């Protein structure tokens, strides 16, 4: 499939995304990122866009890691590694919020 350019809006700004997937898929991803950034921004009104982006990235990385853990251990009710991942993610988010890591 030939790469295509798709224009999306995230937090009111337009971005051109180059991708090999369908336009609807790229738009759906952009919508998901926009929702997450707005959700985080509502809880942290003074946060910079960069800080919100880092927090959103951590949230998405956490979700991805949890899916990988479930895929690797499909035992019903298994939480192998998930609790540790969630705790580490919470600590990172708290450190970012408190400015311990730095003002992003």
> What is residue 46's three-state secondary structure?
coil
pLDDT digits (tens, 9 = 90+) for 56-74: 999 888 888 888 887 776 5
> What is residue 17's three-state secondary structure?
strand
**What pTM does this model have?**
0.67
- The contacts of residue 48 (CB under 8 Å, 6+ apart) are 103, 104
Nearest to 58 by CA among 11, 12, 101, 14: 101
Residues in the chain, pLDDT under 70: 1, 73-85, 88-104
Beta carbons of 53 and 34 less than 8 angstroms apart: no
């Amino acid at each position: 499939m030939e790469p295509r350019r798709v224009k999306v809006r995230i937090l009111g700004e337009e971005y051109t995304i180059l991708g090999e997937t369908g336009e609807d898929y790229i738009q759906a991803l952009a919508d998901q990122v926009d929702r997450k950034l707005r959700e985080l921004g509502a809880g942290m009104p003074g946060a910079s866009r960069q800080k919100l982006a880092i927090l959103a990235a951590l949230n998405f990385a956490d979700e991805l890691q949890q899916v990988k853990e479930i895929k690797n251990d499909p035992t019903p009710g298994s939480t192998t590694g998930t609790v540790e991942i969630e705790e580490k993610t919470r600590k990172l988010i708290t450190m970012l919020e408190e400015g311990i890591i730095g003002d992003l």
